Amino acid sequence: MTTPAIDAHVRLDSHPAHSRAVTAALTGTQAHIAHVALEADGWTPVAENILVLARIDSEEPYWAQQAARALNSVGITTEIAHGLRQAIDEEWAWANYPMPWCTRSEIREVSAEAQKIHDDIRHGHLLIHAHAHAHAEDGHTTVAVGTYLSGGKSVYLHGENHLRQIADTFDSPAQALLAFEKVHGAEMRPGPAPLTDTERSAAEARTPLALTTAEPELAPPKPETVPVYLADAGDHDALLDTFLDAHGEFEKWTTWSDETTHAIHESQTLRIERVHEAHPRDTAWTVAAYETPVSDRMWHLTATGTTPAPVLQTLLNHLADGDGWDTAIGSPVTGKTVTAATKPLTDADWKHTVDGRWIRWTNLAEDAGVQFDAFAAQNPNSPLATWTIWAGPSINQPSWALHASPYAPASMIADLASELAHGTGTRAQPCFGAPQLTATLPAAPPTVPRRQAGRRH
């Protein structure tokens, strides 16, 4: 039986800026049929009738060919550009692949499973509780523990990128965390690990694809007022310098390499650490309070380098008030504490949900929120965060985040929650009259260097 033709044409080509990523340009009155099929198969829309396939196993050419065959089978015409055709026909092998006995198809099966784990994390289906850097036979690698939100299965993950795999499963998050902490307690860190270079490159390839018009350059950006959680990070170093100039009770210390600045209160029971060259998504600020100058810390809070300046200003203003951080050591977190800390969110009618051990408050758009972890609150020695204040696509992949330990003062969390719910900040935007961006692909993308991997011909 002949498959009826569909008025849709798909042109597959190499991405103009990322070596292995593939673009699909759709035309025809029924292009939407091809669009739905590709998106269901893991392709990401980046412009009108343009999608991108960007993976963490560098197998995009192979899966682009499979997509072309699938589209052809239902009557959609496909065209593969010459450069992409060469990439499809190229025979290559991962350099120093740890499982050399695997065939090419078996390697693809392993990497396809790793891709699925990556996508589950990226789309918020798999919540990562903690990660650690562990020593493996082939060097250092990353391990993590998380829970699938649908079905509740908890998993222990081993490896990075195309080698990540599920090494063990657990019946509950608590069971998984206890087992993970037993093995990796010293190196254990809350939340997912920072993106690898490969993951970051794939994420960049999925950003909107556009070319500027013929105008020589964009006009300088001008600021727009936005909710505080969408605001620019601003100049963190200048923010700290201004704070220290206004508060002489803090003494400034800088490491010999100028990589880190410490601000220590005259009582020596409150300390602020600012890491100047931290990756934007890594910890750039750490605040710690102590009962005495020589005791263990009572509580601590961390903030990423992308945290909006107004949020950090609220934190510093709170710290300037000595009563705001003078919390008795060992104060347990109670329902009253949680209610007081989140009252600004309740007053602002933020969505309140309870999911097992997690209590969450999110705004209407669900791109900003506060999370309370009841499990971490009852385990003060655990490295897991009791409080997470975040904004971005999801709590698992935030644009910025603050994490606080069990005994962090409720008044401090309340101040930050109030700023999150009601504060505003500025974000740069193009001036009116600046040339607009167009969402069209170049006719002939420039040649991009291939991935540096071992090849065989």
Interatomic CA distance for residues 283 and 343, integer angstroms: 27
The pLDDT value given to residue 136 = 57
Q: Where are the beta strands (DSSP E) in 159-233?
A: 165-170, 189-190, 211-212, 222-227
Higher pLDDT, 37 or 328: 37
Classify the C-alpha dihedral 248-254-259-265 as positive or negative: negative
Higher pLDDT, 30 or 256: 30
The pLDDT value given to residue 99 = 67
Q: What is the DSSP pairing of strand 222-227 with strand 260-265?
A: unpaired
Backbone angles phi, psi at 347, to 5 degrees: -65, -30
The pLDDT value given to residue 376 = 92
Return mean pLDDT, the chain. 84
> How sure is the predictor about 86, in pLDDT bands with cuts at 50, 70 and 90?
confident
Percent of the chain beyond pLDDT 90? 56
pLDDT tens for each residue of 311-349:
999 999 999 886 556 544 446 788 898 999 999 999 999
Tokens of 454: 């071992």
The pLDDT value given to residue 254 = 84
Q: How are strands ordered across the β-sheet holding 77-80?
A: 44-47, 50-53, 22-27, 9-14, 77-80
Residue boundaries of the structural domains of the chain: 9-89, 104-204, 225-429
Residue 451 has pLDDT above 50, yes or no: no
Tokens of 253: 């210390």
pLDDT tens for each residue of 369-428:
999 999 999 887 778 899 999 998 889 888 899 999 999 999 999 999 999 999 999 987
Interatomic CA distance for residues 238 and 132, integer angstroms: 32
Mean pLDDT is lowest, of 39-53, 142-156, 210-224, for 210-224
Residue 435 has pLDDT above 50, yes or no: no
Residue 76 has pLDDT above 80, yes or no: yes
Question: Is residue 360 helix, strand or coil?
Answer: strand
The pLDDT value given to residue 113 = 93
Q: What is the DSSP pairing of strand 250-254 with strand 260-265?
A: antiparallel
Cβ atoms 218, 434 nearer than 8 A: yes
Describe the crossing of helices 82-89 and 60-73 by its angle, rounded to 10 degrees: 110
Interatomic CA distance for residues 441 and 208, integer angstroms: 11
pLDDT tens for each residue of 266-296:
999 999 999 988 877 789 999 999 888 888 8
Tokens of 195: 């993106």
Question: Is residue 153 helix, strand or coil?
Answer: coil
Interatomic CA distance for residues 271 and 43, integer angstroms: 47
Contacts of 321 (CB under 8 A, 6+ apart): none
